[in-house]
Amino acid sequence: MTESASVLIDITDSPAALNAQVGMVLERARWASQVYQRYDRDATLAITEAVARVAHSKAAEYAEWAVRETGFGVVEHKKLKNELSSLGLLDYYRNWDFVNPRIDEERKIIEIPRPAGVVFALAPSTNPVATVYFKVISALLTRNAIVFSPHPAALECCTDALDTLTAAAIEAGAPDGIIQVVRKPTVPLIEAYMGSDKTDVTLATGGSAMVRAAYSSSNPAIGVGPGNAPAFVDATADIKQAAQNLIESKSFDNSILCTNESVVITLQSVDDGLRRALKSAGAHMCSEEETDALRQYLFHERGFNVEAIGRDASWIASQAGFKISTRATVLVAPITKIGVDEALSREKLCPVLGYYVASSNDQAIAQARGLLRMSGAGHSASIHSQDAQAAIDFASAVETYRVVVNAPCSQGAAGFATNLPPSFTIGTGFYGRSSIGENIGPQHLLHWTKLAYNNDPAETMGDYTTTQVHHKGPLVKAPADGISGYGGGRSPQVAPQSSPVSQGAGSSQNISRDEIRQIIVEELRAALKA
């Protein structure tokens, strides 16, 4: 008994301890979300604006930090992504009203917005701070609380960014606890957050395994799948512009966005001209030997070589055993087939672009479909063409929900070179086994209660022009002496920021002696039964 007890003293990773810790963080978020839902639209926008401006002002600092910490990408490109996902995102949604009712007099329907409540969010290592900005601002616009778990490889820059955004939100009047961060993420801890009945929705961006775990958590989840975008350059395309778009996209942040092109597919009549245009735009056209060297370096029996993620073209070429001009930003690797037998037709989060020559438009479309069947279904594709019918034929055939036309796919599918909604979470819909096929945005973090009148013309709808949802404003500040349940109209009590016990969240909470004792008793009881 004594020996068993000594082994069980460290209980911080036990299921009971994890659930207790997670429950307190989410209970605090629940209180914050209920307070925040009392705010009107002006107050909500003011808070979001303050956060977006601080985020934008630190875009360069966090871009440099993310590259230094992860080793992925290009600083100036990450800076641009951080800017676009802060004030750029807010400006896109500024005129959307996520707070007040919508009135449709013709259909006699009134819609009242209902925020999700508590959002649990994941960020990938590839686009860490931009994803933090995007999800925090989306949550604030819709009056949700958000608990964030950064990727361990980008933990420091994401944690600092979240602390910065939290301070800005609170200073602007947001309730304490509206943004929280998991400071020591582990797989069991993340699973506990995703599976807790106090989590209203998980907003998952990351690897396929984590997204599948979010969907398997028993809670609502919004997740995405991998990309593997085909790019078709047909005989009517502006070849010079198509080449510039392809190189601009594939070199952007060293091709770390999942919306980047994987393989360019063209026709024999276009081949020679496109090769010349790609070289002029900054590509290195690989020889057969160099292509084989890339294939062997980038892929092994377990899949893609993660050392190459977000690295520049010169570094990848040197690792593969050949040299290229320092001016080259993309490695173009000609391939003769697309499918499971050709590794270079898989997703490549680095500036390596497969190059395939088809014999006809029909074969080009068939090969694009085959590429997406391997990976990337539902995600993105692009076409460079001046023929509207060709664009329709291509978009109707490929199983994706975004087809970018005559623009860089990396930026275009993410809404930064097109008028698609700007997003760093790309829904892959039914094709990609995802719940949503759109670019995810704040509109997906709330639902609408609908008042629907009798459609009989004789039934008159009430006059809602002067009605309003009563936004009562902030509650009094929550007491700081632990967490209590709901009851009698009292708010949960929130622990002070300086509390030393909680290991997983940025806003720590005190665990009472009774709670600790109960955890130990449960663990000992389980051990004795075993």
For residue 216 the two structure tokens come to 């398997």
Q: C-alpha dihedral over 199, 202, 207, 210, to 10 degrees? A: 30
Q: Is 395 exposed, middle or buried (0-12, 13-18, 19+ CB in 10 A)?
A: middle
**Per-residue DSSP letters for 205-230?**
-S-HHHHHHHHTSSS-EE------EE
Helix H segments across 196-308? Answer: 208-215, 239-251, 268-281, 288-298
Q: C-alpha dihedral over 128, 133, 136, 139, to 10 degrees? A: -120
- Nearest to residue 184, comparing CAs of 12, 331, 350? 12
CA–CA separation, 169 vs 179, rounded Å? Answer: 8
C-alpha distances (whole Å) from 90 to each of 50, 117, 356, 429 are 11, 20, 40, 25
Bridge-based pairing state of the strands 109-115 and 102-104: antiparallel
**Per-residue DSSP letters for 24-76?**
HHHHHHHHHHHHHTTS-HHHHHHHHHHHHHHHHHTHHHHHHHHHHHH--S-HH
Amino acid making up residue 62? Y
- Nearest to residue 159, comparing CAs of 28, 67, 66? 66
CA–CA separation, 264 vs 368, rounded Å? Answer: 9
Q: Where in the sequence numbering do the catalytic residues fall?
A: 258
Helix/strand/coil (H/E/C) assignment for every residue in 124-186: CCCCHHHHHHHHHHHHHHCCCEEEEECCHHHHHHHHHHHHHHHHHHHHCCCCCCCEEEECCCC
DSSP state of 500: -
